[in-house]
Structures are given as C-alpha cells and as structure tokens.
Structure 1
C-alpha cells in the first residue's frame, strides 16, 4: 500500500484524511468495487483524485451535471493538476475529436452518462489504459427523474466493453433502498465493498420557521442578517424569478452584498458569481438547486430555504453545503404551508407535458420542432429505442408516486414536534447506525430559537494571491503533477 498520508500532504497539502476517505481510497487501491456513501462535506472527490495520482492510466468520472464537471476540473487546476478534461455537449465536433485523441495524455476525464454512451467515446476509451471508473452522485442511477436518463442503466454494459478493473460509486444521500438499487443496477450484484457513514452533521442546526406570507419570510431574513452581520450563506429558491427578486431586494434595499445564480445564466456569468462567492466578495447567494454540487468552500455559515425543499434528500444535500469546516452552521426552512402549491403546480405541469407528448406521438403530425426540451429528450430516447410510450407511462407513474412520497415525508419532517435530527436519521439510516447523540446545538424542537445562536465569523479571502512562490511555479508549469512525474 502506498504511503497515503504522505501522498495526501504532497499533492493536496492536507494534514489528515476526513471521515471515510482513507478507508475508501485503500479499497480502491486494492482494486475492489467500492460504493462509498459519505456525509456531505467529507470531500468525496478526493476518494478518486488521490488514487488517480498514484496509479498509472486514466480515471473516468461519470457526472450528472456539466457545471459539476467544470467545477471539478477547475478545482484540480487550482491545485496544480492540469491533466484533467471534461467532455460534454457544450463542445463542438472538432473540440470533441481533439479531446478524445488526447486522452492518453490525461489523468482525469469527466463525462456525462449520455456522452459516455456514444460510439466515438467508447472507441476512444477502448484504446486507453483505464485505472479507475467512477460514478459520482451515484444515487442518480436510482433516482433519475422525468428527464429520464436511461444511459445510467447502460453504464454496466459500457464498462463491460472497456478494460476496467474496478468501479467506485459515490453518494451522500442514498437511503438503504437506493443503496440496494445501486448495487443491483451498477454492480449487477457483483461483490462490492460498501463504505457507509452516517449522514449526521452534528455541527449543523436545523430549524423550521413558519411564515404565513412572503413578507414574513423577508422580515425573517432581514432580522437574521441583522443578527449575523458578516457570515456568508446561501438562500435557496424553487423559482428563478424569486431568486432574482430577493437578491435585488437585498442589494438595493438592504445594502447587502448579494447575487443570484440559476441555470439560465451563461457559463461565464455562473463562473464569475461562483468565484466572487468563494472569495467572499458576495456575501449572500440567492440560488436555485443549480448551485452547490462540488462547491469547495468550507466556511458557509448558513443555508436558508426560502421555498420548501423538494425532498428530505434535497434538504440534507443543500444544507450540507454549510459548516464544512466543522464549525457551527444553521439550516433553516421558511415554511409557508401555501408553498405546497409550487410542488403541486410542478406535478401538474409535468402531467400536462406528458399527456401532450403522448397525444402527439400517437398522431400523424408530431411537429417535433415545437416539443419542449423535456419532450425532445423523450423523443430522442424513443428514436434510439431506449424508450417506448408504454415505458414512459410506467416511468412517469412511478416518478409521480415517488414525488408524492417524498413530499409527504418532507411535510412530516417540517411539521414534526420531536427531534428533527432524529427524523433525518430514521429516514436515511434507521437500524444502520446508533441514533445521533444530542448536543447543545441540535434543532428548534430541542432548543427553541436555536437559529439565534451566534455563528463564527466568515473570513474574507484576499483577492491577490499570497501563495508561496514554489506553489505558484507548480501551478504555472505543472511541476510535480504531470502524468510522467507522479509519485509512485
């Protein structure tokens, strides 16, 4: 076994491993199939980054979002590791061809499941020496939604066509049922080492503040920010328009350093806002769920859900972006019972979209050009033989039932009167781990008004680079990080 501690310090400058990292990396280095379910904030990406730098060959990372892939590549480059590329739909034909021809010179390839399934990619990977195959956010294998991503189910067949020794699957929010689904669908019930840690984040408090109107939500945000005057945080919204409105309100009327972030922004704008938030130039980020995956910022002190999270999984995932330095952080949901109409409206829209698609597919005049983006996705899968109308109907019914079940569980958690931390424990891991030990910073049901507890200060990152000159040279000229100069 390599001296992992020395390698960790050499490549990443970290003094020690976080929970679950070393155990996962050791299993990967032993060339075992691994499913690692680790809590938010534990640095799951290190579980494949470090082995990649210690092994010969290419690591293929299957990731669900372009933004997440870009974040990972950017993060590696900031660490002085430049042999990482992302292959996705934003590249033109010539860029894709050039990238595939350069794979032998790369250490990391980040790719979507859709791109992975193409013949050009499979043929290029067949010519490569692949040291590790990674499925990030592996719960997507079990939980893909109405956008229907059947390519996740194709991953085992693709792996069989490649020279791959073993696979690593990573997740933070897999229930016991989802874990079983991953083992069956990805590993096809082959032997797999499961490394699982509790989802509990003891330094995060959980609060639900009931509001009867939108104005009450704004009043709460106002008072919260008055009490916590320097800390950075994220406000999550179900509506892009509301994210923009509240950001403008905070900036112009409350004189807060605020910005909004959602999927309609250009890649350049998203990157700029993200960098400003990471540096501390933006204090309050008003975002949809498009923001967060892969964000490497340890001192986010609070996450407030302006609208109701879509599920307990979403709550844990998004709240888990706070307090990654281990210090106190707050998770708050502003609960306006009338907000349930948002979820009902989304479900109603999905039903109408599905019925329209089915009717047009059964008619002589399909008019594909006028399909919505989601309908075009369904149509593409239909054309490729991955999706029939009967399968779409069964899938839609199953997803609707899942959504209703998740909404019911979320509502029960919001309205519960006993410990919210225990509620999370029972949902994700009852019978797997002992119940979390209550501490002085638990939830509003255990300690009323816990959100008023003072938070540690957020230190603003200086915009100029104060890194030592040796590190700058490494980052500029890739000294010590090229695939030919990996410490073995």
Structure 2
C-alpha cells in the first residue's frame, strides 16, 4: 500500500513526539508498509529504530526485532514504554525461567518483540512464534550477520530458517556500517531475497580524527590524563583487552577528579546495565570499555572517543567513533598507537577460530564420545574441559558440524567419509576467514600510516564521497586540540564512583542498597 508522507508525519508526532523524519526514515517506512524487503544503511545516530518502531504501530500484526545485545533490548523497551508504547517486550537470557515463560505464553498480546538470535534457535520459542501473525521481521545492527555470524555468533546465519518458520514476512535489515561486500553478505544470509536498498552516507562531518603515535603504554596514559584534565566531556575509551580496560580505569580514577567506570563482557549483566544507565544519566564521565559497550547507545553528548588499542577492522572503528557527536557539536576521535600494538589484534584474529591442531583434537574427541555412546557436553565449562577450546570456537565448529549432518539434535552421527569431507571443508573455511580478517587488519594499519587526509581514506571503502568537515578535519590536515572548545559538563548532585556503587550493593545498609 502507498502511504502519504503527511499521514506518516502525523503518526510520528502522535506516537513518538517527533515533528519530522530524519533523512531516510520516511522512505524506508513507506517501502516496509508496502510489503517490500528493505536493506537500510544509515549513519549512527540517525534514528534507525524509528524505521521499525513506527511500522510496528501501524501494521496489523507483530514485529520481531533481532537485537545483538541484552542491554540494547532493555534500553529500547524502557524508552518505548516511557512513550506509552506498552505492547512491547524483550525475550532474553537475563530473564528468569518463570518470567520468560510468562512472556512467551502471552506473545500474541505484543506488537513489538525484541529477541536475540540465540534464543530464536530454541524450538519452544520458534513454536510460539509460529502461532503469531508476524508482519515484519527486523535484523537490527545487521552487519553482525557478516561481522559476527561466521565465527562469534553463528546463529546469525540461521535467521533465514526462523524467517521461514514465521511464514516469510517482509524483512528489514538495518546497519550503520556496511561495505557493498557486507551488504551482499547480509542479503545472501537472509536467503538471497530481493531487497530494496536505501543506502545513505555514513560520514560524520562534526567528528575530527586524530592519530597519535606513541612509544609505549605510559605515554598513552600521560596523553589521556592531560586531555581529561583539560576537557570534562562524556567520553569513551576503547580497549581490546579486558585487563587493560580495568587497569587503565583504575589508574585514571586514582589520578583524576572524574567519575570513571569500566565495562566489558566479563562483568555481570546487572552491573553492566547499571553502569550503562549511570552513563546515560550523566552520572559518569568516562567509560573504559571493550567493544561490548556502545551499540545502540543513544547518548547525544559524547564528544570524545579514544582508542587505546587498534580495532581489527575499519568497520568496528567507524561504529565506535560514531557514538560521538550525535548532537551535532564538535567532537574528536583519538587513536593512540605504538609499533607493538599490532600484536594484539593479530593475536585476537588467531584465537577467534580454532587452529588445525585444535580441529584435529575436536574431531578425535568426538569419535571417542561416539564410540562410547556419550552425549555432547552442553555447559561452557564442560566444552572447555572436553575439547580444550573456548566456547566461541566450539559454537563455530558445532554450527559447521550440524551443516554437515555430523551433529543432529546434540547427538553425534559418525561416518568416516562424511567426517573426512567435513574436516577439509571446515579447515578450508577457517583459512579463508582468517585471510579476510588479516586483510581487514591491513586496511586499518594502512589508514593509520596514511599521509593524505584521514577522513577521505576512512570512508572510501564504504562510499564514493564524503562531506567536508564542519569544524576540524584530521591530524593530517592541521587538527589542533587548542581549537577544540567543547562545552564542559558538570556533576549532578551526589553520585558515587562505579567502584562505590558495586561495593555498596554488596554491603548490608549500604548507601545504594536499594538501587
């Protein structure tokens, strides 16, 4: 059906309080309401969520949203309920069994349901979805299909099966960073359907880029202490190591009169949610974090993003710097690096997928289990003890063994010819993926050493042109800290550091016992 823009604007105002659409939103929504499959690439901070939240209000049925992070789901559900959109829920592993079963029993009462790709693979969840009239199937942060699906979260590659189980409703795939190759990867993983593409430039003209070479870690700390002493603005510092994030957060907190927290995937979920909410409410100044933080965070006044370590690819770097300057104010991305920094991303790439020796060990162990008629290990610690690999590597291997018919319903099916073929196929795939990752790492290293404009070369793999900077450009084009004069933030009332917050939660009668 064709929908007039004036009608959509009225609905936008009525349901969400916005007077007008941002670039790309109305075009995407019209195609969704017309029943088309849509691939939308819009820059960070451009309001991608409205592209499915408004249709969820207008369509006659349920909208399913595949979301990568629990904290992102919880935050979006909270925001929607604050706007009086009550028929929304999130199904995630943070819920206890009783709460989850309660939500699943009344799924038909919701118009918008957030869920992770892993939970979508549970047969009971799929069974409940089959009973719904699904009007729209959304993959938010769709680059995760390409970026994580091949290794870290293979359940992203199974979404096509879930879509078919939902009677093949129209599909909306949304992302902020996707090269033409990644766009192809997304569409292929979703069954090769015909998609209408709405691709918009992702460059952010209000972010200046500074790359500074240092001798060692101590020099990085000196630079950060100087900057944070001079500029009190909401800031993110990205690390590739959890330990480094914790150590630097502690060092900064002991040296600066700022509220500083650490955030990474190894922390308890509730603690991560608490820290995220404190940052959103301006109760924290700086987050020292891994890539686990930031996706879907709609905080407009982040004005400084520092990379303490190199990312493994430009896509991740663009996603992380895109969390700055969403209010349009002058913001800075600073990347600090020393010559030895290249070793960490190389190590990360080498450990994401199993080595040939580890693959041989897993196959031999599976044969032993099959001969002894023993079941596959299920819990993470059982997998580690049995196969001597981490859970991420096991998920990758298990996904491919299921594709080859060697594992069915968590039981082993041994046939020598099938096993030999599967081993060769999996190892060839590992080699291919490793080469792709190494090439992506080479791209960001080339960018760091670029003598020409950093802005120009950062976006050239994603789009044919870029907008001229509205403030300063980059360190190759004369960027100066002296010319950056952001508005400083002030503390709001009595607040506690993240260490005090967590400590008090464990003390009977602590200051924040009820929070």
TM-score band, normalised by the shorter chain?
0.7 to 0.9
Aligned counterpart for 2:214 among listed residues 211, 215, 225: 211
Determine if contact 1:425/1:436 at 8 Å carries over to the other structure.
no
After TM superposition, give the deviation of residue 442 of structure 1 in Å: 1.1
SS at match of 1:208: strand
After TM superposition, give the deviation of residue 380 of structure 1 in Å: 4.2
Determine if contact 1:58/1:108 at 8 Å carries over to the other structure.
yes
Cα distance in 2 for residues equivalent to 1:284 and 1:310: 23
Cα distance in 1 for residues equivalent to 2:71 and 2:457: 31
* Equivalences, count: 459
Cα distance in 2 for residues equivalent to 1:391 and 1:106: 43
Please give the root-mean-square deviation of Cα atoms over the aligned residues, in Å.
2.5
The normalised TM-score by structure 1 is 0.87
Cα distance in 2 for residues equivalent to 1:401 and 1:418: 27
SS at match of 1:427: coil
For structure 2, the 5+ residue unaligned runs are 370-375, 407-421, 496-515
Q: After superposing the two structures, state which structure 1 stretch, 176-185 or 420-429, moved more.
A: 176-185
Q: Does 1:178 align with 2:162?
A: no
Cα distance in 1 for residues equivalent to 2:119 and 2:401: 17
Alignment partner, residue 412 of structure 1: 446
SS at match of 2:462: helix
Determine if contact 2:206/2:470 at 8 Å carries over to the other structure.
no
After TM superposition, give the deviation of residue 66 of structure 1 in Å: 2.7
Q: Quick one: higher RCO (CA 8 Å, sep 6+), 1 or 2? A: 1
Alignment partner, residue 474 of structure 2: 443
SS at match of 1:441: coil
Q: After superposing the two structures, state which structure 1 stretch, 36-45 or 390-399, moved more.
A: 390-399
CA gap of 1:146–1:338, structure 2 versus 1, over 3 A, is farther
SS at match of 1:437: coil
Aligned ranges for residues 32-431 of structure 1 at < 5 Å? 32-144=36-148, 147-190=151-194, 192-228=195-231, 230-350=232-352, 355-363=357-365, 364-365=367-368, 368=377, 369=382, 370=385, 371=387, 372-378=390-396, 380-381=398-399, 384-385=402-403, 388-430=422-464
SS at match of 1:331: strand
Cα distance in 1 for residues equivalent to 2:216 and 2:126: 53
CA gap of 1:130–1:343, structure 2 versus 1, over 3 A, is same
Cα distance in 2 for residues equivalent to 1:109 and 1:356: 39
CA gap of 1:295–1:196, structure 2 versus 1, over 3 A, is same
Determine if contact 1:207/1:451 at 8 Å carries over to the other structure.
no
Q: Does 1:453 align with 2:463?
A: no
The normalised TM-score by structure 2 is 0.83
For structure 1, the 5+ residue unaligned runs are 465-488
Cα deviation 1:389-438 (Å, max 9, x = unaligned): 334323321221111111100001111011111112211113xxx34335
Cα deviation 1:241-299 (Å, max 9, x = unaligned): 11111111121222221111111111111111111111111101111111001111111
After TM superposition, give the deviation of residue 8 of structure 1 in Å: 1.9
Cα distance in 2 for residues equivalent to 1:146 and 1:127: 30
CA gap of 1:459–1:40, structure 2 versus 1, over 3 A, is farther
Alignment partner, residue 481 of structure 1: none
